[in-house]
Amino acid sequence: MKKVLSYLLVILLLAPALPLAITSATAYEKKIPCDADGNNELTKEELVNAILLHMLGEGDLKLDDVGDAAWVYVYWDGKPKTIVDDTVTDTYPDGKLITIYRPPERIITLHSNSAEILKLLKSKDKIVGIDKYISDEKFFFPDISKLPIVGSMSDPDAEEIIRLNPDIIIAYGSYFTKWSIYLENKLKGTGITLARLDCYKPETMSDDIIKLGHFLDRAEEAEEFVDWYEGYLSIINDRVEELTEDEKPIVYVEGYTDYKTYSEGTGAHQACIMAGGINIAADLPGKYPKVDSEWVINQSPDIIVKVVSSTKVSGGYGEDDPSEMKAVWEDIVNRDGWSDIPAVRDRKVYLIHAGGTWNDPKYFIGLAYLAKWFNSTLFEDVNPKVMHWEYLTEFQGLDYDLDKHGVFVYHPELHPDGK
Of 329, 360, 322, the closest CA to residue 347 belongs to 329
Question: What is the pLDDT, as a whole number, of residue 304?
Answer: 98
Q: Are residues 87 and 185 located together in one domain of the fold?
A: yes
pLDDT above 80 (res 175)? no
Among 217, 252, 281, the domain-final residue is 217
- Beta-bridged to residue 410, according to DSSP, are 351
Q: Are strands 349-353 and 409-410 parallel, antiparallel or unpaired?
A: antiparallel
Of 302, 297, 296, the closest CA to residue 281 belongs to 296
Is the alpha carbon torsion for 14, 17, 18, 24 positive or negative?
Answer: negative
Give me the amino acid identity at 250.
I
Q: Which residue has the higher pLDDT, 116 or 60?
A: 116
Q: Which residue has the higher pLDDT, 156 or 181?
A: 156
Burial class (CB in 10 A: 0-12, 13-18, 19+), 389: middle
Among 42, 75, 108, the domain-final residue is 75
Distance of CA 166 to the CA centre of its chain: 19
Question: What is the pLDDT, as a whole number, of residue 295?
Answer: 98
pLDDT one-digit tens code per residue, 329-374? 999 999 999 999 999 999 999 999 987 898 789 999 999 999 999 9
Query: Using 50, 70 and 90 to split pLDDT, how confident is the model at 225?
Result: very high
Of 315, 334, 335, 310, the closest CA to residue 325 belongs to 315
Query: Using 50, 70 and 90 to split pLDDT, how confident is the model at 6?
Result: low
In a domain, 230, yes or no: no
Q: Are residues 107 and 177 located together in one domain of the fold?
A: yes
pLDDT above 70 (res 47)? yes
Domains held by the chain: number: 3
In a domain, 419, yes or no: no
pLDDT one-digit tens code per residue, 120-149? 999 999 999 999 999 988 889 999 999 999
Question: What is the pLDDT, as a whole number, of residue 154?
Answer: 86
Query: Using 50, 70 and 90 to split pLDDT, how confident is the model at 85?
Result: very high
Question: How many Cα atoms are found within 13 Å in the side-chain-facing hemisphere of 129?
Answer: 25
In a domain, 38, yes or no: yes
Q: What percent of the chain has pLDDT over 70?
A: 91
In a domain, 234, yes or no: no
The Cα-based distances of 121 to 51, 86, 216, 223 in angstroms read 31, 19, 8, 10
Distance of CA 90 to the CA centre of its chain: 24
Query: Using 50, 70 and 90 to split pLDDT, how confident is the model at 54?
Result: confident
In a domain, 116, yes or no: yes
In a domain, 418, yes or no: no
Cα 162 from Cα 166, distance rounded (Å): 7
Question: What is the pLDDT, as a whole number, of residue 296?
Answer: 98
pLDDT above 70 (res 17)? no
Question: Taking residues 274-286, what's their average pLDDT?
Answer: 97
Question: What φ, ψ does residue 212 adopt, rounded to 5°?
Answer: -65, -40
Average pLDDT, the chain: 89
Strand locations in 197-328 (E): 250-254, 278-279, 303-308
pLDDT above 80 (res 270)? yes
pTM for the predicted model, two decimal places: 0.87
Quote the DSSP letter at residue 394.
Answer: I
Q: Are residues 403 and 266 located together in one domain of the fold?
A: yes
Q: Are residues 56 and 108 located together in one domain of the fold?
A: no
Q: Are residues 34 and 129 located together in one domain of the fold?
A: no
pLDDT above 90 (res 180)? no
Q: Are 358 and 350 in contact (CB under 8 A)?
A: no
* CATH number of the domain enclosing 354: 3.40.50.1980
Among 32, 56, 75, the domain-final residue is 75
pLDDT above 50 (res 24)? no
Question: What is the pLDDT, as a whole number, of residue 113?
Answer: 93
Query: Using 50, 70 and 90 to split pLDDT, how confident is the model at 30?
Result: confident
Torsion (CA) 107, 112, 113, 119 in degrees, nearest 10: 60
Cα 184 from Cα 189, distance rounded (Å): 10
In a domain, 272, yes or no: yes
Quote the DSSP letter at residue 211.
Answer: H
Query: Using 50, 70 and 90 to split pLDDT, how confident is the model at 181?
Result: confident
How long a stretch of residues is the chain? 419
Q: Are residues 213 and 278 located together in one domain of the fold?
A: no
Question: Taking residues 403-417, what's their average pLDDT?
Answer: 81
188's CB contacts (< 8 A; 6+ apart) are none
Q: Are residues 62 and 92 located together in one domain of the fold?
A: no
Q: Are residues 86 and 154 located together in one domain of the fold?
A: yes
Q: Are residues 26 and 160 located together in one domain of the fold?
A: no
Cα 419 from Cα 408, distance rounded (Å): 5
Q: Are residues 193 and 337 located together in one domain of the fold?
A: no
Question: Taking residues 287-307, what's their average pLDDT?
Answer: 97
Q: Are strands 151-152 and 155-156 parallel, antiparallel or unpaired?
A: antiparallel
Query: Using 50, 70 and 90 to split pLDDT, how confident is the model at 201?
Result: confident
Q: Are residues 290 and 202 located together in one domain of the fold?
A: no
In a domain, 235, yes or no: no
Cα 132 from Cα 156, distance rounded (Å): 10
Q: Are residues 13 and 41 located together in one domain of the fold?
A: yes
Widest distance between CA atoms in the chain: 89
Domain of 398? 243-410
